[in-house]
Each structure stands twice: as C-alpha cells, then as structure tokens.
Chains A and B, each alone.
Chain A
C-alpha cells in the first residue's frame, strides 16, 4: 500500500520561500508509470494542481505558478519536494502530495496546513 506524508513548516513569512517535503513509502519514485504531484486547497476553496515531477527530472507546473515553483525528486530518499517562492497570504492553504498517473491522482497524503503571515 502506497503511503505519502507531507512535512515542513506550518508558518511562512510573506515574501519568503515555502518548502515542503513528501515522503513516499510502499512505492518507488523510479516507477516509470507515475509522476509525483503537489496540490493545494485554500481555506474553504477547491483543489488546485500546482505541478508534477517525474523521476527523469521532467517537471510540469500550473502556468500561473510556474515562475515561483520548483518540484524536485530525491529518489534515494523516496522523497519529493516543493518550493514556492515569494509567498503571499494568497498562498495560505492545505498542501497535499499525491501520486500522479496523469489522468488520476490515486494516492494522497493527509495534507499539511501552511499559513503565510508575519
């Protein structure tokens, strides 16, 4: 059974960089069938795909976030990470990591709330 767990600071100052890590167990980041994704949900709002990474280093990002986002995979640690630069209050959200098979996200983490505030 694949399991994902997000970790990282729950509070980030405006203009700084949000950094989160997702640790994967029960599955391999090397598996060519899957991408590894970050998705967020602002309080009371819907789901927003941020981007996805592949074991080859290929990455895809939501166009409106592309200039601020980096997703990277550390296959040796079974972890992948999210960096979101120059955050504002609008980036306050629950951040989920998920296994991405293009047409579906089949396994999700429990999510971690990140608040942007001074």
Chain B
C-alpha cells in the first residue's frame, strides 16, 4: 500500500520560514493535502490540491508538490503556528496520512 513520510520534527524562529516535507513514490502524480493539529483540537485543513488554501487560512501558508516530495511552507512563522502538521495523499480507493511533523517555534 502507498506510504508517505514526514520528518518527526522541525524547528523555526519566529518570523522565519518553516518548511515541512512529505515524501512518497511519484507523489507529484497525486494531490496532497496538509492539516494543522493543535493540542486537544481536531485537525484543520490548511492546504489542498497541493497548493490551494481553504477560506480563512492565512496567506503565509503555501504548498508545492514536485517529483517525490510535497512541501508545506509557512512564511513569517508565528508562535500560533506551533502545532503538529500532517500530509495526506489518496488514490481511488484509499487515503493515507504521513506520520506527522511537530513544528516548534522558538
């Protein structure tokens, strides 16, 4: 079955850009979504179809997908962005999440 892989943790200083990767075989052949999950909360969709932002998601969140790697980028990272982030890919019959990346803003 298809799998996607994320780094367990990423650290960034406030105001800097944070990049979180998601790797999978020929991942660019699939759409990737990204979710933010703060402690004790449900996941929140922040990017879908590789690059699109749902209504209400700040412009500092952006995404890309090329080759075997999709990337979530947070520009001008704020302390409120500290959370777990999950990528998600799909095919016609299954959906798969990455293992999650803990973003620390310090």
Which secondary structure dominates chain A's binding surface? strand
B42: nearest chain-A partner, CB-CB = A108
Cβ–Cβ contact A47 & B43, under 8 A: yes
Query: Known contacts being A49-B97, A62-B94, is A103 close to B42, with CB within 8 Å?
Result: no
Please report the total number of A residues contacting B with Cβ < 8 Å: 21
B8: nearest chain-A partner, CB-CB = A46
Q: B86 contacts which of A47, A62, A103 (Cβ < 8 Å)?
A: A47
A94-118 vs B, CB cutoff 8 Å, 1 = contact: the mask equals: 0010001011111011110000000
Asked whether A70 is an interface residue with its Cβ less than 8 Å from the other chain, the reply is no
Q: B42 contacts which of A49, A100, A111 (Cβ < 8 Å)?
A: A111
Supply 17 A–B pairs (Cβ within 8 Å), ascending by A: A37-B95, A46-B99, A47-B97, A47-B100, A49-B94, A49-B97, A63-B94, A102-B90, A102-B95, A103-B31, A103-B33, A103-B90, A104-B33, A105-B43, A105-B95, A108-B43, A109-B42
